[in-house]
Structure 1
Amino acid sequence: MGHRVRFANPSADQVYLYSPTSSTSSRSPGPATPPSPHSSLPQSSVSSPLEVILVKGFHDALRLNSKDTLKIDLSVDPRTNPSLISSDYFSSIQGEDATIPPTGYVELWSRWLPWVIEITPKTGPHVTVYDMLCGLYDALHARMTEEEYHASTDLSRFPGIRDDVDSAFKKRCDKIMEHNVGLAEKERNNGRRRLDLLRGNNIFYGLSVDPNTEVVKFSVKDT
């Protein structure tokens, strides 16, 4: 299956689970990581049919603050990313288990998003490094519906967020235009992607486990 996006709570009041001001801001020099989501939020009524194994750690290529972390641009498909394709290191580890212990199901949380990203292996019993990066990319590159966009950027509840999301969308389209005008226009006409909710923080900075909640968090940084 690869990935699935599951809203953490079906109520519109639960979008933006993590207040953007409660943790590292996008203007900070450090990576943006979410606070503890389970401490103040009701659990989802949606349960996964897959066995959940408690993740204790990650492959060095994915672990936050590892010297080997693959700090890739999440706006670029890892399947065609030149920096990965040409990397002997990535070629040698892409099929290795992403987590410790190995698992066939991982939930990724981020304070920037109103949903949980669920990662499962494309093939084999366990999520690999390749599965993790591709699943994260695919989940973030789904188009936002108008309902998602307006709920996630509600001006009365999240002042300023809509401008940041719109700015991220524009900058992403402008970057595409540097190489392909037609593709940039098509992207602009088709609308925002869920990636734009990261508000320009598109560099993957690694995975970590919250010591209090045991939630798997993914960190990102401004490009």
Structure 2
Amino acid sequence: MTVQIHPALGYTTTPHLNYDVSCHPSTISPAHPSLSPTILNEAATLPPLPSITLVSQYLPWKLEIKPANGNFVTVSDVINGMYRALRLTVSKAEYSALPSVSAQQRVTDAYSHRCARILDSSAKQMEMQKGLKRIDFFVDKNRFMGLSSTPHGPHVWSINVS
């Protein structure tokens, strides 16, 4: 079965959506004024799928995306599911599984940088207490560039970031 990703989610060097994956989905803006906000409610794939799996070279986890309402995954489900999955706290074992001490340091630096961007001191303290999150494994690659197909089946898509 051939499955196509929604054009708003497809990988391109000039993404259709301006989105920093370290930020809340409410910060998304269309890259082109002609893009309608209704695209968020459209099916993420053609044909529509009941779930999709996201993978990344930077993450040791697969992100399972399920529909919030209805029978198929929407563009909004992908963005919101990715955000929720990347906000999960990293365990000590997951951190220790990084390939090198320098990789661990890059992830720790990304965590420090992410927390430093929070201006409100009490909110910053709360975020720091939560510890490393999956998003920190992207290090400094937070710009969503879209999803691309993988050889692992029509429901598995690779997250591209820069």
Q: TM-score range by the shorter chain?
A: 0.7 to 0.9
Instruction: Provide the alpha-carbon RMSD of the alignment.
Output: 2.1
Say whether 1:132 aligns with 2:95: no
Alignment partner of 1:62 is 2:3: no
Does 2:162 match 1:218? no
- Equivalent pairs counted in the alignment come to 158
Task: Within 5 Å, give how 1:150-189 maps onto structure 2.
Answer: 150-151=96-97, 153=98, 157-176=99-118, 179-189=119-129
Cα distance in 2 for partners of 1:144, 1:109 equals 16
How much does 1:75 deviate? 1.3
Question: Rg larger in 1 or in 2?
Answer: 1
Identity rate of aligned residues, in percent?
32
1:115 match: secondary structure: coil
Q: Is the 8 A contact 2:54 2:159 kept in 1?
A: yes
Distance 1:197 1:166 in 2: 9
The 8 Å contact of residues 17 and 29 in structure 2, kept in 1 or not, is answered as no
Whole-angstrom CA distance in 2 between matches of 1:90 and 1:195: 28
Q: Tell me how far apart the structure 2 counterparts of residues 162 and 90 of structure 1 sit (CA, whole Å).
A: 40
**Farther off after superposition, 88-97 or 119-128:** 88-97
Which structure 2 residue ranges, 5 or more long, are not aligned?
none
In the TM superposition, 1:1-223 aligns within 5 A as: 56-65=3-12, 69-78=16-25, 80-81=26-27, 83=29, 89-151=35-97, 153=98, 157-176=99-118, 179-210=119-150, 212-214=151-153, 215-221=156-162
Q: Distance in 1 between matches of 2:95 and 2:2?
A: 31
Question: Hey, what's the Cα distance between the residues in 1 that align with 2:125 and 2:49?
Answer: 40
Unaligned regions of 5+ residues in structure 1, if any?
1-53
SS of 1:107's partner is strand
- The 3-state SS of whatever aligns with 1:131 is helix
Q: Quick one: distance in 1 between partners of 2:52 and 2:2?
A: 8
Cα distance per residue 1:132-157 (max 9 Å; x no partner): 00000000001112222222x2xxx4
Question: 3-state DSSP class of the match of 2:62?
Answer: strand
Instruction: Return the TM-score normalized by structure 2.
Output: 0.87
Tell me if structure 2 keeps the 8 A contact 1:55–1:209. Answer: no
Once the two structures are superposed, residues 154-192 of structure 1 have per-residue CA deviations (whole angstroms, 9 ceiling, x without a partner) of xxx42410010011001101111xx21211111112211
Question: Aligned to 2:17, what secondary structure does the other structure show?
Answer: coil
Query: Is 2:14–2:145's contact at 8 Å kept on the other side of the alignment?
Result: no
The residue type equivalent to 2:12 in the other structure is N
